[in-house]
Each structure stands twice: as structure tokens, then as C-alpha cells.
Amino acid sequence: MNRKQDTRDPERISHAEEPLKARITAVHKDRFNFICSAGEGQATLKTSNYYLGDQDFPTTGDQVLLHYDPDGCSQILETLPRKTYFSRRNPNLSRGEQAVAANFDYVFIIQSLNQDFNEQRLERYLTIAWQSGAMPVVLLSKADLCEDLESYLNRAKQCAMGVPLHPVSAKTGQGLDELQEYLQPGKTIVFLGSSGVGKSSLVNALAGQERMKTKRIRDEDGKGRHTTTHRELIQLPQGAMVIDTPGMRELGIWDAESGLDEAFQDVESLLGTCKFHDCTHTAEPGCAIKEALAKGTLSPERWNSYCKLEKEIAYAQKKDLHLKKKKEKQISKYLRKHYK
Ligand SMILES: Nc1nc2c(ncn2[C@@H]2O[C@H](COP(=O)(O)OP(=O)(O)OP(=O)(O)O)[C@@H](O)[C@H]2O)c(=O)[nH]1
Ligand SMILES: [Mg+2]
């Protein structure tokens, strides 16, 4: 038999055939940027594992196994289990939730010390951050613009419930030294906050060079211009990795029940101590919430925030269940019609 000789470089074959562990640094339509011990590259998904199988589609920060191809045709075989992640409802309902950033240790929640500062939004971000499984840290950015830092710090403390708070300025460098404790090699930090609060400016200030594009906020209302459009994983000189995100408009609050418990520990510790176990906290005697509100140990704003977020989560869960049932009905109708 005349065997055709394999002329491929053996070094490359072993690279191609031995799966390597890699980290996803950015996600494009059907291409994924990654970094691994052999270098950086772009990869596509192995169809049989992802489109026909049940593998979770990789997101920024994910660890994956891939067949590395130095010529640019690497193929992702498997998404490794995530230790933390943010998720949103998947537009493709058969797959339930969809992760939008994964495997981070800290969530830097950023609010700027101008028109952006808003306690309700901070509480919402804290709920999402706790839900992810990582540790939240609150950064009050653009401290150089603020003349009344103490009062902002006090307001933030009321909702942060013991979460570390750091006033910082990417412009003057104020507070950046204090962040070094989080930037240890092997750690990943995700930046969360509205457009224009200075997330990318902080990434650049910590990196010591311009890694991300930034843009002026609008003069009229201080709103950002959605400059960062992609989630991106960046290596800092300190050894830590940072995931810069677009203003997190895209992150709905979905199934964040345990995040709510953590973010509102003060409210949670009161619930269940009312005289009646099914207390509605409206007219019943012996209501711990009403007592705390009357004593001033729980502020009405905080209680309202809790109720609002709780309602939103319940609504999102109900909607999800409804859509899931609708989808199941459609599938069984299709099966009945075609496989009678
Ligand atoms: N004065 C002052 N301005 C800042 C500071 N940090 C950022 N800015 C300005 O705020 C504007 C928005 O900054 P970006 O870093 O683009 O904000 P972003 O949060 O990344 O915005 P998106 O990418 O749209 O989500 C830019 O004009 C920055 O120069 C700061 O510490 N002090
Ligand atoms: Mg940005």
C-alpha cells in the first residue's frame, strides 16, 4: 500500500492535538479571542459540542479547553465550570440564562461623584454583584470633581453595608494605591457601572497606559456615550486581569434572590421576626419592619428599594417561567404535528 507521507511539522501537530487550557479575552459574533500558554489567538466553537451538544457558550473571562492552532484556526472544545459569573436571560430561551462575564474575584462597582451618584442604582449593582458570587468593592470615581466627599461617603456607606468604599480619581491618581491590594497576580476584577463613570479611564490609570478608549460625557446631563462596546479582559502590569464592560444597561436583574439577601442584610435580619409569619408589613401588629421604620433604624428609602427590587426579581422569574412554558407548548405542538 502506498501511504501518503505526513509532511506537517510534528511540533504543530502535537499543539493541535493536545487540548490546551485558555482564557477568553473577548467575544465577537462567532469568534473568540483567547490567551493561553502558547500565546494569543482567535478561535471558533466546535459545532458538535456547542450547537448540537449542551456546552455553555463561552463568555469573556471563561476558561476553556481548545485545540490550539498557531495558524489561527483554533477550536474551542469545552467551557470549564465557572466560579463566578453575571448572567442575563438568554434570548434563546431553550438555554435559560446566558453568562456575560465569568471567573472574577472582585466586582468594582463604580459610581462617579457627580450627577451619576444614586443610592438606588448602587443598591441594584450591589445586588447583582453579590449574586455573581464575587466580592463587591465600591469605587466613588472622579473624586477630584467633588467638594463634599464626606457627605457622599456617608450616603454610600448607608447602602454599602460594610462593603469596602474607595474614593478614587483616574485624573489625579487619588486612591489608586489603595486598590493595589485587589490587583494581585491571579486575581480578576470586573468593572461595573453606568456609561461615563470612568471605568475605562480607571483601567488605563491602573495599567499606566492607554489600553481602552475613553470619551467625554455629555455636558448637558453628564451622561456617558457608551464608548466601550465590548467586554474585554485585560492583563495589568501588576499581574491581575481586569474585565472592562460597556455601561451595564444590558444586565437585567434576573434571578438575583440570593444577591438581594446579601445586599439588604439589614432588611433580611428583620424579616421573619414579625409576630405573624405571613406579615405583609402593612397593618399587622408586631411588625418588625414597621417598628424599625418608626424608630428610624430602617430608612423608608431603603425599605422602598428592597420592595422594588424584590418585585422586579419576582416579575422577571414569573416572566421567565411563562416564556419557558410557552416554548415547551410550541415544541410539543410541533412534535405532535410532525411525528403523529
Ligand atoms: N475629572 C475627571 N474626569 C474623569 C475621571 N475619570 C474619567 N473621567 C472622564 O469621564 C469621561 C468618561 O470616561 P470613560 O472612562 O470613557 O467612562 P466609561 O465608564 O468607560 O464609559 P463607557 O465606556 O461609555 O461605559 C471621560 O471624559 C474621562 O476623561 C476622573 O477621575 N476625573
Ligand atoms: Mg468605557
Q: Is it the case that residue 258 has pLDDT exceeding 80? A: no
Going by CA atoms, what residue is nearest to atom 25 of ligand 1?
195
Helices marked H in 219-287: 257-263, 265-270
State the cell numbers at 159. 447602602
Q: Is it the case that residue 289 has pLDDT exceeding 70? A: yes
Residue 219 or 265, more confident: 265
111 C-alpha to ligand 2 centroid (Å): 13
With the most atoms of ligand 1 within 8 angstroms of its CB, the residue from 112, 125, 200, 201 to mutate is: 201
pLDDT tens digits for 148-207?
A: 999 999 999 988 888 999 999 999 999 999 999 999 999 999 999 888 899 999 999 999
User: What is the structure's pLDDT at 312?
Assistant: 83
Q: Whole-model pTM?
A: 0.81
Q: Is the CB of 198 under 6 A from ligand 1?
A: yes
215 C-alpha to ligand 1 centroid (Å): 7
- The number of the ligand nearest the C-alpha atom of 199 reads 1
User: What is the structure's pLDDT at 287?
Assistant: 94
Q: Is the CB of 163 under 6 A from ligand 1?
A: no
User: What is the structure's pLDDT at 251?
Assistant: 62
Q: Is the CB of 323 under 6 A from ligand 1?
A: no
pLDDT tens digits for 50-106?
A: 888 778 899 999 999 999 998 888 999 999 999 999 877 665 555 566 788 999 999
227 C-alpha to ligand 2 centroid (Å): 5
Contact 202, 170 (CB under 8 A): yes
104 CB burial (10 A radius; 0-12, 13-18, 19+): buried
Helix (H) or strand (E) holding 40: strand 39-45
Detail the DSSP E strand segments found in 223-310: 232-235, 241-244
- The number of the ligand nearest the C-alpha atom of 225 reads 1
Q: Is the CB of 167 under 6 A from ligand 1?
A: no
Averaged pLDDT for residues 303-308: 91
198 C-alpha to ligand 2 centroid (Å): 7
Distance CA 81, CA 83 (A): 7
Domains defined for the chain, CATH in brackets: 14-81 (2.40.50.140), 101-250 (3.40.50.300), 257-336 (1.10.40.50)
State the cell numbers at 151. 457627605
Ligand 1 atom having least distance to the Cα of 225: 24
217 CB burial (10 A radius; 0-12, 13-18, 19+): buried
Q: Is the CB of 196 under 6 A from ligand 1?
A: yes
Distance CA 326, CA 330 (A): 6
Mean pLDDT of all residues belonging to the chain: 85
Percent of the chain clearing pLDDT 70 (strictly above): 88
116 C-alpha to ligand 2 centroid (Å): 15
User: What is the structure's pLDDT at 8?
Assistant: 46
